[in-house]
Amino acid sequence: MEITPVIYENSVTSVDSSEDLYEDIKAEHMGSQTIRKNQEQKSSERDQLLTSYNYLLTSYKNLTTGRDHLETSYISVIAEKDNLQKKLSCLEKAAQEGWRYFNSRLYYISTEQKTWNSSRQDCRKRGADLVIINSKEEQEFVDSLSCCKDAAVFIGLSDRETEGVWKWVDGSVLTTGYWENGQPNNGKWISSQDCAVTGPQLGKRWNDKPCKNSYYWICEKNV
């Protein structure tokens, strides 16, 4: 008996269709993965761009702020330079007029001798007043101005208002003085002595003298 092979056409067709379907699903799956990967990549690139943009924006803001600070600093430096130039011109003019600079103040020693009142008037005409000595250093500077004089020099100190109460020309009461030994003595029996001079000698050097006597004097003013 001959056996005839039986061909199950539908079955063959069915296997082929399954493979196609599998391939289709696989392709679709791969396609989806590719699309998803592309989307993820695009999303990542967008995030990177956004980060870069934010970084650039922050940098720009920082640069702008830095530029504003520089501009402000530049304006301040220019203003300070102008201010210093004005001060320098002022100091040069003062030096030509005989003023000497010490510790942000200007001092002038006279070339003639006058009474205490006339001396003070002269200082006021120069935009100053008789010198007020606030420290040992200032006294030493005053010494350096007066040491070459052959006579005493009036300073801005007197007890004309109340005997024995020594006040500076700005109204403040004397706290530290550099009196010679035995001074102030108000002249004892000779005459009233109410105006202070600083002597040409070194050491303790102040003395009270009659205000109507004539001496050199020292003026002091702000720069």
**Dihedral of the alpha carbons of 221, 145, 157, 139, in degrees to the nearest 10:** 100
Give least dist CB 185 to Ca ion, A.
5
- 116, 158 contact by CB (below 8 A): yes
CA-to-CA distance for 20 and 9, rounded, in angstroms? 17
Give least dist CB 120 to Ca ion, A.
17
Give least dist CB 75 to Ca ion, A.
55
CA-to-CA distance for 198 and 151, rounded, in angstroms? 9
Region for 185 from its dihedrals, namely left if φ exceeds 0, alpha if ψ lies in -120 to 50, beta otherwise: alpha
Q: How many residues bind Ca ion (CB under 5 A)?
A: 8
Does position 194 interact with Ca ion (CB under 5 A)? The reply is yes
Question: Which tokens in the block code for residue 220?
Answer: 């002091």
Binding mask 167-186 for Ca ion (x = CB under 5 A): ----------------x-xx
Does position 159 interact with Ca ion (CB under 5 A)? The reply is yes
Choices 2-10, 38-46, 52-60, 200-208 (CB under 5 A): range interacting with Ca ion: 200-208
Give least dist CB 132 to Ca ion, A.
18
Does position 207 interact with Ca ion (CB under 5 A)? The reply is yes
Instruction: State the CB neighbour count (10 A cutoff) for residue 209.
Output: 20
| Nearer residue to Ca ion within complex by CB, 125 or 188 | 188
* Residue ranges in contact with Ca ion by CB under 5 A: 159, 183, 185-186, 193-194, 207-208
